Structure 1
């Protein structure tokens, strides 16, 4: 990755036209060919950019104090990002290597432990019976007692999809054969529940619960926010 801090103006020409007047900005040239123009604000969003496939060419500057001109040409369209560099304040290149990818926080084991600790997230009057409640086809993430004393099986996923609903359905069928537990109702809990999974769960009488990982960790108290 190449990092250039420069006083520059930027023009985008193609299907849309845009102009950034002269100012100090960060120019990122990535190994995939993309070029991004950042200011010292706006969070992660660049002011302008060109996504690959594209090609960067650098030419000597001309009039008006321009020391060099960058032209980023998209390979499939006539779109061009033109950076007129007036002064280079910093220029460095760094080999970052292959990125292993994003490892998301809030994996299922963490969610299970947090929900067990804060079992009233299911509702007032709920009590934890056991985590990893054993069955013949595998452990149920959480077995709880509802406010009416009935058993509740909770299946926890980071992303709730149809497979998770099917898994909980199998647990419920098995648990409801036990006269000491029956009747057992189900809760499908996840940070994100796909619409198809929600429809299937509702059709089978399974309650869906969206989990707020930060709230469970005590980092975000939803009851004290205005929105």
Structure 2
């Protein structure tokens, strides 16, 4: 992972446009190729980002103007991050305050709490919760950046990646998007669909999931574990 603290301006062009004026920010360049720009006022959500697959190209800064008329703050570097759909993230850097790279190695993954882990186990045991004819291929299917909770087949035999959360938020949709991007490059899996399953799904997460072609499923944990009966049943 590369950590850069810099005075920078950020411009995104794609399905929409966005502009961040010059300010000091943290830029993260991760091993999976993703690039994200962070401020110092929120826990996890970046100001702007580009998800993999994408390409980072370091460009020469523009030449300084010859005249003495004051202009924009001179730049020391320019980065262009190019996405697969033609969208771009331009990062114009005026001053680098810190630049370091660190090898983090393979992450063991998030240790789920009891409810989330139990929910995953129940859905693995009963994949037909998602639809008639569904079957489980394996739990914790490994991708290059971590395991997706369930790999299933639907009634047509197509592969489906299922990410399970107790509370479905935007970061969970982003996580599943990254898994799907990598899984779809595997010719043995083909065009993998995504399902985002949670007890509660935030409206913003649902909107993002629909935009990414991911199906949202709200799961009744109490009903799944049979709390309305003395025996474990689904419905």
Q: TM-score, normalised by structure 2?
A: 0.50
CA contact 2:54–2:82 (8 Å) conserved in 1: yes
SS in 1 for 2:5: strand
Query: CA–CA distance in 1 between the matches of 2:227 and 2:98?
Result: 58
Aligned residues: 133
Work out which of the residue numbers 138, 144, 161 in structure 1 matches 2:122: 161
Number of the residue aligned with 1:222: none
CA contact 2:3–2:101 (8 Å) conserved in 1: yes
Segments of structure 1 that go 5 or more residues without pairing to the other structure are 109-156, 165-190, 209-227
Query: CA–CA distance in 2 between the matches of 1:20 and 1:55?
Result: 21
Runs of 4+ in 1 over 6 A off after TM superposition: none
Residue 42 of structure 1, CA deviation: 1.6
CA contact 2:39–2:47 (8 Å) conserved in 1: yes
Number of the residue aligned with 1:87: 95
Query: CA–CA distance in 2 between the matches of 1:87 and 1:11?
Result: 17
Q: TM-score, normalised by structure 1?
A: 0.51
Matches within 5 A, 1:198-217: 198=223, 201=226, 204=229
Bigger radius of gyration among the two? 1
Query: CA–CA distance in 2 between the matches of 1:96 and 1:53?
Result: 20
Number of the residue aligned with 1:55: 55
Matches within 5 A, 1:94-109: 94-106=102-114
CA contact 1:161–1:197 (8 Å) conserved in 2: no
CA shift digits 1:156-205 (9 cap, x unpaired): x73273659xxxxxxxxxxxxxxxxxxxxxxxxxx787328616836746
